[in-house]
Amino acid sequence: MNSALLRVRSVSATLWCIGLFAPLAASAANYPDKPVKIVVPFAAAGAADILARAVANMLTIKLGQSFIVENRAGASGNIGAQRVAQAVPDGYTLLFTTTNLTMNPAMGTDLPYDAVKDFSPVTMVAFAPMILVKSPSVKAATASELVAEIRAHPAKYNFSSSGVGGAPHMAGELFRLKEDLKVVHVPYAGAAPALNDVSSGQVQYSFTTFVSAQAFLQGDRVVPLAVTSDKRLSSLPQVPTFDEVGIRGMAIGTMFGLLAPANTPPEVVQALYRTLSEAGATPEFQKQIRELGAEMVLDTPVEYAAYIAADVQKWKELLGKIGKIE
Protein backbone atom coordinates (compact mmCIF):
# COMPACT_ATOMS: atom_id res chain seq x y z
CA MET A 1 0.00 0.00 0.00
CA ASN A 2 1.19 3.56 -0.79
CA SER A 3 3.10 5.02 2.21
CA ALA A 4 1.41 8.40 1.77
CA LEU A 5 -1.99 6.70 1.94
CA LEU A 6 -0.93 4.87 5.10
CA ARG A 7 0.07 8.19 6.70
CA VAL A 8 -3.28 9.73 5.77
CA ARG A 9 -5.15 6.77 7.30
CA SER A 10 -3.02 6.94 10.43
CA VAL A 11 -3.73 10.64 10.87
CA SER A 12 -7.43 10.06 10.22
CA ALA A 13 -7.56 7.32 12.86
CA THR A 14 -5.79 9.57 15.37
CA LEU A 15 -8.20 12.43 14.68
CA TRP A 16 -11.14 10.02 15.04
CA CYS A 17 -9.88 8.89 18.46
CA ILE A 18 -9.37 12.48 19.54
CA GLY A 19 -12.91 13.30 18.40
CA LEU A 20 -14.28 10.30 20.28
CA PHE A 21 -12.63 11.05 23.62
CA ALA A 22 -12.52 14.86 23.53
CA PRO A 23 -16.05 15.24 24.97
CA LEU A 24 -15.14 12.92 27.87
CA ALA A 25 -11.96 14.87 28.59
CA ALA A 26 -13.83 18.17 28.50
CA SER A 27 -16.57 16.89 30.84
CA ALA A 28 -14.00 15.46 33.25
CA ALA A 29 -12.66 18.94 33.94
CA ASN A 30 -16.08 20.07 35.22
CA TYR A 31 -17.16 16.79 36.82
CA PRO A 32 -19.84 16.45 38.01
CA ASP A 33 -22.06 18.96 36.20
CA LYS A 34 -25.23 16.84 36.28
CA PRO A 35 -26.74 14.13 38.54
CA VAL A 36 -24.78 10.88 38.91
CA LYS A 37 -26.37 7.44 39.12
CA ILE A 38 -24.94 4.83 41.51
CA VAL A 39 -26.19 1.36 40.58
CA VAL A 40 -26.54 -1.09 43.46
CA PRO A 41 -26.99 -4.63 42.06
CA PHE A 42 -28.99 -5.79 45.09
CA ALA A 43 -32.37 -5.07 46.65
CA ALA A 44 -33.04 -2.03 48.82
CA ALA A 45 -32.47 -2.12 52.59
CA GLY A 46 -29.56 -4.60 52.50
CA ALA A 47 -26.06 -3.75 53.72
CA ALA A 48 -24.83 -2.78 50.23
CA ASP A 49 -27.82 -0.50 49.68
CA ILE A 50 -27.47 1.16 53.09
CA LEU A 51 -23.78 1.86 52.60
CA ALA A 52 -24.28 2.99 48.98
CA ARG A 53 -26.80 5.58 50.18
CA ALA A 54 -24.33 6.82 52.79
CA VAL A 55 -21.70 7.15 50.04
CA ALA A 56 -24.19 8.89 47.73
CA ASN A 57 -25.11 11.34 50.46
CA MET A 58 -21.47 12.18 51.18
CA LEU A 59 -20.66 12.68 47.48
CA THR A 60 -23.76 14.87 47.04
CA ILE A 61 -22.73 17.10 49.94
CA LYS A 62 -19.07 17.33 48.96
CA LEU A 63 -19.41 17.68 45.16
CA GLY A 64 -22.61 19.73 44.96
CA GLN A 65 -24.46 17.43 42.56
CA SER A 66 -27.05 14.75 43.22
CA PHE A 67 -25.74 11.18 43.47
CA ILE A 68 -28.80 8.94 43.12
CA VAL A 69 -28.91 5.25 44.09
CA GLU A 70 -30.64 2.90 41.65
CA ASN A 71 -31.29 -0.70 42.72
CA ARG A 72 -30.85 -3.22 39.88
CA ALA A 73 -31.12 -6.53 41.74
CA GLY A 74 -30.87 -9.99 40.21
CA ALA A 75 -28.54 -12.81 39.22
CA SER A 76 -26.25 -12.44 42.26
CA GLY A 77 -25.37 -8.89 41.30
CA ASN A 78 -24.68 -9.62 37.64
CA ILE A 79 -27.56 -7.58 36.19
CA GLY A 80 -26.46 -4.35 37.82
CA ALA A 81 -22.78 -5.01 37.15
CA GLN A 82 -23.48 -5.56 33.44
CA ARG A 83 -25.49 -2.33 33.32
CA VAL A 84 -22.48 -0.34 34.54
CA ALA A 85 -19.87 -2.27 32.56
CA GLN A 86 -21.72 -1.30 29.36
CA ALA A 87 -22.42 2.32 30.36
CA VAL A 88 -20.72 5.34 28.83
CA PRO A 89 -17.41 5.79 30.72
CA ASP A 90 -18.00 9.41 31.72
CA GLY A 91 -18.43 9.02 35.49
CA TYR A 92 -22.20 9.50 35.48
CA THR A 93 -23.04 5.82 35.94
CA LEU A 94 -21.20 4.09 38.80
CA LEU A 95 -21.39 0.69 40.49
CA PHE A 96 -21.52 0.12 44.24
CA THR A 97 -21.08 -3.58 44.81
CA THR A 98 -19.80 -6.33 47.07
CA THR A 99 -17.65 -9.46 47.00
CA ASN A 100 -20.19 -10.96 44.58
CA LEU A 101 -18.30 -9.08 41.85
CA THR A 102 -15.13 -11.10 42.46
CA MET A 103 -16.86 -14.32 43.50
CA ASN A 104 -19.20 -14.70 40.53
CA PRO A 105 -16.42 -15.42 37.98
CA ALA A 106 -15.54 -18.53 40.00
CA MET A 107 -19.07 -19.94 39.89
CA GLY A 108 -18.61 -21.60 36.51
CA THR A 109 -21.08 -19.52 34.52
CA ASP A 110 -20.37 -17.23 31.58
CA LEU A 111 -20.68 -13.61 32.69
CA PRO A 112 -21.69 -10.71 30.44
CA TYR A 113 -18.74 -8.68 31.75
CA ASP A 114 -15.16 -9.12 32.98
CA ALA A 115 -14.78 -8.19 36.64
CA VAL A 116 -11.16 -7.13 36.14
CA LYS A 117 -11.14 -5.54 32.67
CA ASP A 118 -14.55 -3.88 32.40
CA PHE A 119 -14.34 -1.49 35.35
CA SER A 120 -12.25 1.42 36.60
CA PRO A 121 -12.09 0.80 40.37
CA VAL A 122 -12.45 3.92 42.54
CA THR A 123 -12.01 2.59 46.07
CA MET A 124 -13.00 -0.18 48.44
CA VAL A 125 -15.10 1.79 50.88
CA ALA A 126 -15.33 -0.84 53.62
CA PHE A 127 -14.76 -4.48 54.46
CA ALA A 128 -17.16 -6.50 56.61
CA PRO A 129 -15.56 -9.67 57.96
CA MET A 130 -17.46 -12.83 58.72
CA ILE A 131 -18.20 -13.77 62.31
CA LEU A 132 -18.10 -17.38 63.47
CA VAL A 133 -21.06 -17.91 65.81
CA LYS A 134 -22.10 -21.06 67.66
CA SER A 135 -25.21 -22.35 69.35
CA PRO A 136 -25.36 -21.74 73.12
CA SER A 137 -25.79 -25.51 73.48
CA VAL A 138 -22.30 -26.15 72.06
CA LYS A 139 -19.74 -26.40 74.88
CA ALA A 140 -16.74 -24.93 73.03
CA ALA A 141 -15.76 -21.50 74.35
CA THR A 142 -13.30 -20.63 71.57
CA ALA A 143 -12.85 -21.32 67.86
CA SER A 144 -9.96 -23.65 68.68
CA GLU A 145 -12.11 -25.60 71.14
CA LEU A 146 -14.84 -25.83 68.49
CA VAL A 147 -12.33 -27.39 66.08
CA ALA A 148 -11.34 -29.92 68.76
CA GLU A 149 -15.00 -30.73 69.47
CA ILE A 150 -15.78 -31.29 65.79
CA ARG A 151 -12.77 -33.57 65.37
CA ALA A 152 -13.78 -35.57 68.44
CA HIS A 153 -17.46 -35.87 67.43
CA PRO A 154 -17.68 -35.23 63.66
CA ALA A 155 -21.15 -36.73 63.21
CA LYS A 156 -22.66 -34.16 65.57
CA TYR A 157 -21.68 -31.01 63.72
CA ASN A 158 -23.29 -29.08 60.86
CA PHE A 159 -22.91 -25.46 59.81
CA SER A 160 -25.52 -23.18 58.27
CA SER A 161 -25.29 -20.30 55.81
CA SER A 162 -27.59 -17.74 54.23
CA GLY A 163 -27.41 -19.57 50.90
CA VAL A 164 -25.26 -21.63 48.56
CA GLY A 165 -22.27 -19.78 47.12
CA GLY A 166 -22.44 -16.64 49.27
CA ALA A 167 -19.59 -15.30 51.39
CA PRO A 168 -20.92 -16.95 54.61
CA HIS A 169 -21.02 -20.33 52.84
CA MET A 170 -17.52 -19.82 51.46
CA ALA A 171 -16.23 -18.86 54.91
CA GLY A 172 -17.63 -22.12 56.28
CA GLU A 173 -16.00 -24.09 53.48
CA LEU A 174 -12.67 -22.34 54.00
CA PHE A 175 -12.84 -23.15 57.73
CA ARG A 176 -13.62 -26.78 56.91
CA LEU A 177 -10.69 -27.03 54.47
CA LYS A 178 -8.18 -25.21 56.66
CA GLU A 179 -8.93 -27.34 59.71
CA ASP A 180 -9.74 -30.58 57.83
CA LEU A 181 -13.20 -30.86 59.40
CA LYS A 182 -15.89 -33.40 58.56
CA VAL A 183 -19.01 -31.27 58.67
CA VAL A 184 -22.15 -30.85 56.57
CA HIS A 185 -23.29 -27.55 55.09
CA VAL A 186 -26.96 -26.67 55.63
CA PRO A 187 -28.03 -23.79 53.35
CA TYR A 188 -30.98 -21.53 54.15
CA ALA A 189 -32.89 -18.86 52.25
CA GLY A 190 -31.37 -15.95 54.15
CA ALA A 191 -29.34 -15.18 57.25
CA ALA A 192 -32.25 -15.02 59.72
CA PRO A 193 -33.44 -18.62 59.28
CA ALA A 194 -29.82 -19.83 59.22
CA LEU A 195 -29.18 -18.17 62.59
CA ASN A 196 -32.53 -19.21 64.03
CA ASP A 197 -31.51 -22.85 63.73
CA VAL A 198 -28.10 -22.13 65.28
CA SER A 199 -29.90 -20.43 68.16
CA SER A 200 -32.18 -23.43 68.67
CA GLY A 201 -29.32 -25.92 68.43
CA GLN A 202 -30.55 -27.67 65.30
CA VAL A 203 -27.34 -26.49 63.61
CA GLN A 204 -24.19 -26.08 65.65
CA TYR A 205 -22.47 -23.06 64.08
CA SER A 206 -22.53 -20.56 61.24
CA PHE A 207 -20.62 -17.75 59.58
CA THR A 208 -22.46 -14.47 59.20
CA THR A 209 -22.07 -10.70 59.19
CA PHE A 210 -22.50 -8.40 62.15
CA VAL A 211 -25.57 -6.76 60.60
CA SER A 212 -27.29 -10.12 60.18
CA ALA A 213 -26.29 -11.38 63.64
CA GLN A 214 -26.86 -8.20 65.62
CA ALA A 215 -30.30 -9.04 67.04
CA PHE A 216 -29.19 -12.61 67.85
CA LEU A 217 -26.06 -11.35 69.59
CA GLN A 218 -27.96 -8.80 71.68
CA GLY A 219 -30.30 -11.50 72.92
CA ASP A 220 -27.45 -13.99 73.55
CA ARG A 221 -29.19 -16.34 71.13
CA VAL A 222 -25.87 -17.11 69.42
CA VAL A 223 -22.32 -16.85 70.78
CA PRO A 224 -19.55 -15.15 68.73
CA LEU A 225 -16.22 -17.01 68.71
CA ALA A 226 -13.97 -15.26 66.17
CA VAL A 227 -13.91 -12.74 63.34
CA THR A 228 -12.21 -13.18 59.98
CA SER A 229 -10.57 -9.72 59.87
CA ASP A 230 -6.93 -8.94 60.64
CA LYS A 231 -7.99 -6.87 63.66
CA ARG A 232 -10.91 -6.97 66.08
CA LEU A 233 -14.18 -5.33 65.10
CA SER A 234 -14.91 -2.08 66.91
CA SER A 235 -18.51 -3.28 67.23
CA LEU A 236 -17.36 -6.55 68.90
CA PRO A 237 -14.10 -5.65 70.67
CA GLN A 238 -14.29 -8.68 72.97
CA VAL A 239 -14.26 -11.19 70.09
CA PRO A 240 -10.78 -12.29 68.93
CA THR A 241 -9.62 -12.68 65.35
CA PHE A 242 -8.90 -16.14 63.97
CA ASP A 243 -5.20 -15.26 63.91
CA GLU A 244 -5.32 -14.51 67.64
CA VAL A 245 -6.61 -18.01 68.39
CA GLY A 246 -4.01 -19.64 66.14
CA ILE A 247 -6.14 -20.35 63.06
CA ARG A 248 -4.42 -18.79 60.05
CA GLY A 249 -5.65 -17.98 56.57
CA MET A 250 -9.24 -17.08 57.45
CA ALA A 251 -9.23 -13.56 55.95
CA ILE A 252 -12.60 -13.67 54.24
CA GLY A 253 -15.59 -11.39 54.22
CA THR A 254 -17.60 -8.92 52.17
CA MET A 255 -16.01 -5.92 50.54
CA PHE A 256 -18.08 -2.89 49.59
CA GLY A 257 -16.65 -0.83 46.77
CA LEU A 258 -17.28 1.89 44.21
CA LEU A 259 -16.37 1.37 40.55
CA ALA A 260 -16.85 3.15 37.23
CA PRO A 261 -16.92 1.65 33.73
CA ALA A 262 -13.54 0.88 32.19
CA ASN A 263 -11.86 3.85 30.47
CA THR A 264 -13.53 6.42 32.70
CA PRO A 265 -11.23 9.50 32.68
CA PRO A 266 -8.61 9.21 35.46
CA GLU A 267 -9.50 12.74 36.59
CA VAL A 268 -13.04 11.59 37.35
CA VAL A 269 -11.86 8.49 39.21
CA GLN A 270 -9.42 10.58 41.25
CA ALA A 271 -12.08 13.19 42.05
CA LEU A 272 -14.39 10.50 43.43
CA TYR A 273 -11.59 8.82 45.38
CA ARG A 274 -10.33 12.11 46.83
CA THR A 275 -13.84 13.12 47.92
CA LEU A 276 -14.50 9.80 49.65
CA SER A 277 -11.11 9.91 51.34
CA GLU A 278 -12.04 13.28 52.82
CA ALA A 279 -15.48 11.96 53.81
CA GLY A 280 -13.77 9.14 55.68
CA ALA A 281 -12.61 11.65 58.29
CA THR A 282 -16.16 12.65 59.25
CA PRO A 283 -17.61 11.07 62.43
CA GLU A 284 -21.00 10.57 60.73
CA PHE A 285 -19.56 8.44 57.93
CA GLN A 286 -17.36 6.47 60.34
CA LYS A 287 -20.41 5.74 62.51
CA GLN A 288 -22.39 4.42 59.54
CA ILE A 289 -19.53 2.05 58.66
CA ARG A 290 -19.25 0.76 62.24
CA GLU A 291 -23.00 0.19 62.51
CA LEU A 292 -22.71 -2.22 59.59
CA GLY A 293 -20.06 -4.19 61.45
CA ALA A 294 -17.48 -3.14 58.89
CA GLU A 295 -14.13 -1.42 58.90
CA MET A 296 -13.37 1.58 56.71
CA VAL A 297 -10.78 0.95 53.97
CA LEU A 298 -10.74 3.75 51.34
CA ASP A 299 -7.72 2.40 49.45
CA THR A 300 -6.43 4.03 46.26
CA PRO A 301 -7.81 3.14 42.81
CA VAL A 302 -4.58 1.26 42.03
CA GLU A 303 -4.75 -0.69 45.30
CA TYR A 304 -8.42 -1.52 44.77
CA ALA A 305 -7.77 -2.73 41.22
CA ALA A 306 -5.03 -5.03 42.53
CA TYR A 307 -7.38 -6.32 45.25
CA ILE A 308 -10.11 -7.15 42.72
CA ALA A 309 -7.71 -9.07 40.47
CA ALA A 310 -6.29 -11.01 43.43
CA ASP A 311 -9.74 -11.72 44.91
CA VAL A 312 -11.07 -13.11 41.63
CA GLN A 313 -8.12 -15.52 41.60
CA LYS A 314 -8.59 -16.40 45.28
CA TRP A 315 -12.22 -17.42 44.78
CA LYS A 316 -11.33 -19.48 41.71
CA GLU A 317 -8.68 -21.35 43.69
CA LEU A 318 -11.01 -21.89 46.66
CA LEU A 319 -13.86 -23.13 44.47
CA GLY A 320 -11.39 -25.43 42.71
CA LYS A 321 -10.55 -27.03 46.07
CA ILE A 322 -14.15 -27.25 47.22
CA GLY A 323 -15.42 -28.69 43.95
CA LYS A 324 -19.16 -28.65 43.35
CA ILE A 325 -20.81 -26.44 45.95
CA GLU A 326 -24.09 -27.46 47.50
Tell me, what's the pLDDT at 67? Answer: 98
268-296 tens-digit pLDDT = 999 999 999 999 989 988 888 888 888 89
What domains sit in the chain, N to C, each tagged with a CATH number?
Answer: 31-127+255-322 (3.40.190.150), 131-245 (3.40.190.10)
Q: Is the pLDDT of residue 3 over 80?
A: no
Residue 166, pLDDT score = 81
With a cut of 70, say whether residue 34 has pLDDT above it.
Answer: yes
Residues 6 or more apart in contact with residue 215 via CB below 8 angstroms: 221
Give the separation between CA 271 and CA 251, rounded to whole angstroms.
30
pLDDT confidence of residue 16: 45
pLDDT-above-90 percentage for the chain: 64
pLDDT of residue 9: 46
Give tens-digit pLDDT for 82-121.
Answer: 999 999 999 999 999 999 899 999 886 789 999 999 999 9
Q: Kindly report the pTM of this predicted structure.
A: 0.80
Contact 260, 269 (CB under 8 A): yes
Round the average pLDDT of the chain to a whole number and report it: 89
CA distance 173 to 178: 9
Rounded distance, CA 73 to CA 83, Å?
Answer: 11
**Residue-level pLDDT at 7:** 45
Instruction: Report the DSSP pairing between strands 67-71 and 158-161.
Output: unpaired
Given a contact cutoff of 8 angstroms between Cβ atoms, the answer to whether 36 and 92 are in contact is yes
The model's confidence at residue 164, banded by pLDDT at 50, 70 and 90, is: confident
What pLDDT is stored for residue 6 in this prediction?
Answer: 39
**What is the model's pLDDT at position 15?**
47
Q: Report whether pLDDT(154) > 70.
A: yes
Q: What is the pLDDT of residue 324?
A: 63
* Distance separating alpha carbons of residues 93 and 34, to the nearest angstrom: 11
- pLDDT band (50, 70, 90) for residue 10: very low
pLDDT at 21 over 70: no
Q: Got the DSSP string for 141-188?
A: -SHHHHHHHHHHSGGG-EEEESSTTSHHHHHHHHHHHHHT---EEEE-
d(CA 270, CA 216) in angstroms, rounded, equals 40
- For the stretch 190-240, pLDDT in tens is 888 999 999 999 999 999 989 889 889 998 999 999 999 888 998 899 999
Over range 319-326, report the average pLDDT.
72
Residue 23 binned pLDDT confidence (cut-offs 50, 70, 90): low
